[in-house]
Structure 1
């Protein structure tokens, strides 16, 4: 299930950005999903659809490097996704995480559960 990459600049009335998923050609490849810059309630339907579409892959790599805004609902969705992936015997990895994503997950105590990479020291 492939989506369009999230636009960097959106107008006030622009629709929410979608995550981008590339399903693997074979079982040995990981599916890659690009999380949108605005990962809040308004983008949840599109993000949920992309995550559900990627569950068929054994390994999934999320790219959260462009996330600028994230709310509790998005983190809850990612936790549920992680649990479902674990139940299917899949693995979750991260290509990148933004400061906003790391901070929000840390404040809610979800960084370890989401398998976020340790933040680099400045």
Structure 2
């Protein structure tokens, strides 16, 4: 158990560094993946293939600005993608996120893990 706690603490300590690295990912020097408007179960196979293809680029920018519908399966896929990217030493940035994506990730407590940009104040 102590090993798991130490590993979790190390992950927590590393998050600010990863977040700042991800924030510095530029659109020009990164692979860009456009998330579909309907980001639910039916779109998972195509999205998974696109994300896997982008992994080798190292620096990835996801564009979630067009997402109108998103389900837990899509968010789980993005979390797994983020973990694999982190394991490879890659960085993740966002070009845009929709209200639907922000709300769903927030409800599931995944906004910070996915490094979603803070929602703009109205």
Task: Identify whether the pair has TM-score above 0.5, normalized to the shorter chain.
Answer: yes
The match for 2:83 is: 83
Q: CA RMSD in A?
A: 0.9
| SS of equivalent residue, structure 1 residue 56 | helix
> How many residues end up aligned between the 2 structures?
95
Task: Report the Cα distance in structure 2 between the residues aligned to 1:113 and 1:70, rounded to whole angstroms.
Answer: 17
TM-score (norm 1): 0.77
| SS of equivalent residue, structure 1 residue 63 | strand
Where do 5+ consecutive residues of structure 2 fail to align? 1-27
The match for 1:105 is: 105
Task: Report the Cα distance in structure 2 between the residues aligned to 1:57 and 1:86, rounded to whole angstroms.
Answer: 12
The match for 1:69 is: 69
More helix by share: 2
Flag the structure with more relative contact order, 1 or 2, with Cα contacts below 8 A and sequence separation at least 6: 2
Q: Does 1:56 align with 2:59?
A: no
The match for 1:42 is: 42
Where do 5+ consecutive residues of structure 1 fail to align? 1-27
| SS of equivalent residue, structure 1 residue 60 | strand
Larger Rg: 2
Task: Report the Cα distance in structure 2 between the residues aligned to 1:58 and 1:30, rounded to whole angstroms.
Answer: 8
